[in-house]
Structure 1
Amino acid sequence: MNINLKALEGIRGLAALYVLIHHSRTALTQSYNLGLKLYPEQYEWYDKLMVYFFSLFKFGHEAVIVFFVLSGFVIHLKQTKPSYYYPNFNWKNYFKKRLIRIYPPFLVSMILCVLCDYVLTLIDSVEFAGIFDKYTINSLINNLLLIPGTEPWGYNYPSWSLKHEWVFYILYPFVLYLNHNNFKITILIILGLYISYLLGYSIPFFGEVAYTFVVWNIGVLIAIFYNKKYFKYFPLLIITSVIYIPIYSRVDEYAIKDVLFGLVIAGIFSFILVTKNKLILNSLNKLTWLGAFSYSIYILHYPLLNLYQSLFYYINHTNKLPYHLWHVVIFTLISLPLIYFIYYFTERFAINYKKTLS
């Protein structure tokens, strides 16, 4: 991997950390409207600074869009090499790699959900009675099959995007085949799915994936033009932010906002790849260690967060969140090493095995 593409791994790590802090912020402290705005006397000066700093982490959903665009780019990049020829596409090898990449950490997260809830029952079986009621056979099947729109296993809400990602993987070879025969037809079909969703026609099984697949294909589009002469104009997509910013606060439809934000992200990625700024590249390259276990951070942090929050309520005999943000800092510092430990003995082995198939 060259230094430019390696920098994108750093972005992946930052996005995963951002999501972790975003969820910690909403689960372990009072919101601004219910906290500092109403009870400023409860906050010391440093607490107020922390409130304003952590307010930067309120765009957790947008961080997921970063994952989608990055995924589409990385998956398709190998198919854009000059030596690539579609009839040589190995369907069996492709799906084997995708299974190895996505399932090991996800299965670990499912086990972790149960273990975290089990810890709570060990602490107080009466207080946490019925905590396993949400683990049904129907939920197990839907999650093992990664069916979009279904309830998460336990409290692992971030898995919604994983279910979308799995559908992207399933659709991609068919899109690749269509693209091999007629690029324009491919574009029309993808746009058709998107427009049908905007018009209220929900396709069975796909649901919201009809529009998130468009976001994912923005990454594919970057890969198609990467290293081509027209790619130098792709950073201009950042201008899309001029449209996105006013729409963000006025439009509730994610199908519109996410696609626009996907274009903004495409512009930022392209800018990094085109300008080859050493300061930016070197800074992001130093975060590749974080990117290495970003998937584990994303899919494992929520069960741990739910455990931490439940213990806080139990120990303090309250259902009221604290006004300060120290628990956000503590959870982040505790969870990252723990997640890395789990990653080291699970996902890392799957990744190394997947590399042997390349």
Structure 2
Amino acid sequence: MTYSASPPHPLRLRSLDGARGLAALIVLIHHCALTVPEFANLYLIGAIPAEGTVAWWLNATPLKIFTAGGEAVLLFFVLSGLVVSLPVLRAKTFDWAGYYITRTMRLWIPVAASLVLAAVWVTLVDGDPGLTVSKWVKGSDVPSLEWQEVVLGFDAMRGPTRINNPLWSLQWEFIFSLLLPVFVGIAVVLRRWTAATVTVCTALGVVGVLNGIGYLIYLTAFLTGAALTFPVLGRTRRHRPRGAPIWSKALWLAILFAGILLMCAYWSMLVGGVTDSFILAVGKALALPGAVLLVLCAVFSRNVARFLEWAPVQWLGKISFSLYLVHVPIIMMFSRLFGSDHWMRALLFAVPASFAAAWIFSKLVELPSHRLAKHTGRWISAKMVAYVAASSVPVQAQAHAERVLVSSAPGDQGDRPTQKSPAIR
């Protein structure tokens, strides 16, 4: 374990903040769509919508990217793997003690606060049991909440997520954060084979989908993000030429569209009538290379980066974590109040309320927790440095004493006259 008193200046890629904001928006739209029975039935019971309907267009075509919530979470994981690994691989020495304290507090405090907030909403708002709701709303309902479930939810890696469904993905974030040295080590070993790493991770994803192994589906996404660190470090945005030729713009546009197609491949296959489980598993796993292509566009394409650095998108990036944490209980609350027959009316209230709650949550919970995490991490690091320095003093003193004893021992060089000795004339 090493300690760095002066960590390198952080490499901030604002375009990745924008990508995170758009991913959070996609998750919000996805959960809004799940309040519509026809859309929820496709996810929960595999009911294929009729061709030509709105639900068909939103799932069988590249328009699916706007409601691809699960795929957006995979993009979150790739971004986390990249962004969290960057400081480690840029630094000559890395403060692991400070990292674990800071990372844990930055994630756990907002998660715990969102869990309490969701529990309050569930307790205070009672919907009309006679109203018709979508299968997703009905399956996610919490008719009787017990305080033990809230307490168990504070276990960030194994706690129940029924009260606030998006917390399931934060459990994988905690696991990745705990195992970061392993991911960074693998990324270093495979730094010359980034494309091969993405391919192997995609193949492992296929195995994970076929066998229901979450570790192969989600942790490989984090590993892929860590593997992207070296290409990003080798050619960051500041190295991108200002006047890119037309062919370069067209190439990145094609890569962007290819990433969107790969992200939507599974749903195009499913709605298109594919029933083979292996082919569907391949289609679901293709979301990983699709997320990689989108991240590469965010870093290397000047036009894509310029859009992602646009002020409204950056604002989404700033509240993305808070929006992700608070939006589902709000959507559920208004869906239970209005029912699926008036889902549009429910969303007219739920979406603005989600943005407002996310902004307030970021100001009152997320940002203060970040500051507290940084302060605590620095304090712990300073204490560890002081402890290591204090522990090394007795060792140095003992080594010095041993050298004195050896130099003065009979038969050694200590009993021989030196050039400065008065015995030499």
- Superposition TM-score, scaled by structure 1 size: 0.72
CA gap 1:138/1:5 in 2 versus in 1, 3 angstroms: same
Q: Report the Cα distance in structure 1 between the residues aligned to 2:192 and 2:356, rounded to whole angstroms.
A: 47
CA contact (8 A) 2:26 2:69 kept: yes
Query: Hey, what does 1:317 align to over in structure 2?
Result: none
1:105 aligns with one of 110, 130, 139: 110
Structure 1: runs of 5 or more not aligned: 41-47, 314-320
CA contact (8 A) 1:32 1:51 kept: no
Q: Report the Cα distance in structure 1 between the residues aligned to 2:142 and 2:293, rounded to whole angstroms.
A: 45
Query: Hey, what does 2:231 align to over in structure 1?
Result: 225
CA contact (8 A) 1:178 1:185 kept: no
CA gap 1:184/1:133 in 2 versus in 1, 3 angstroms: farther
CA contact (8 A) 2:205 2:220 kept: no
Query: Greater RCO between the two (CA within 8 Å, min separation 6)?
Result: 1
- Is structure 2 residue 364 aligned with structure 1 residue 345? yes
Task: Tell me how far 1:288 sits from its aligned partner.
Answer: 1.4
Q: Deviations over 1:200-222 (max 9, x none)?
A: 778xxxx5123211111211121
Which shows bigger deviation, 158-167 or 250-259? 250-259
CA contact (8 A) 1:30 1:323 kept: no
Query: Hey, what does 1:331 align to over in structure 2?
Result: 350
Task: Tell me how far 1:352 sits from its aligned partner.
Answer: 2.7
Say how many residue pairs are matched.
Answer: 323
Q: Report the Cα distance in structure 2 between the residues aligned to 1:345 and 1:308, rounded to whole angstroms.
A: 24
Percent identical pairs in the alignment equals 20
Q: Aligned ranges for residues 307-322 of structure 1 at < 5 Å?
A: 307-313=333-339, 321-322=340-341
Query: Hey, what does 1:76 align to over in structure 2?
Result: 85
Query: Hey, what does 2:319 align to over in structure 1?
Result: 293
SS of equivalent to 2:165: coil
Q: Report the Cα distance in structure 2 between the residues aligned to 1:170 and 1:281, rounded to whole angstroms.
A: 34
RMSD between superposed Cα atoms in Å: 4.4
SS of equivalent to 1:152: coil
CA contact (8 A) 1:300 1:339 kept: yes
Structure 2: runs of 5 or more not aligned: 1-8, 42-48, 132-140, 241-247, 379-425
Task: Tell me how far 1:7 sits from its aligned partner.
Answer: 1.6
CA contact (8 A) 1:65 1:215 kept: yes
Query: Hey, what does 1:267 align to over in structure 2?
Result: 293
Q: Aligned ranges for residues 126-145 of structure 1 at < 5 Å?
A: 133-135=144-146, 137=148, 140-141=151-152, 143-145=153-155
2:96 aligns with one of 44, 69, 91: 91
Q: Deviations over 1:86-106 (max 9, x none)?
A: xx3322211111112111211
Aligned amino acid, residue 292 of structure 2: A
The structure with more radius of gyration: 2
- Is structure 2 residue 177 aligned with structure 1 residue 169? yes
CA contact (8 A) 1:296 1:343 kept: yes
Aligned amino acid, residue 84 of structure 2: I
CA contact (8 A) 1:65 1:258 kept: no
Task: Tell me how far 1:13 sits from its aligned partner.
Answer: 1.1
Task: Tell me how far 1:198 sits from its aligned partner.
Answer: 3.8
Q: Aligned ranges for residues 15-34 of structure 1 at < 5 Å?
A: 15-27=23-35, 29-31=36-38
Q: Report the Cα distance in structure 1 between the residues aligned to 2:373 and 2:284, rounded to whole angstroms.
A: 31
- Is structure 2 residue 235 aligned with structure 1 residue 213? no
Task: Tell me how far 1:347 sits from its aligned partner.
Answer: 0.8
CA gap 1:303/1:225 in 2 versus in 1, 3 angstroms: same
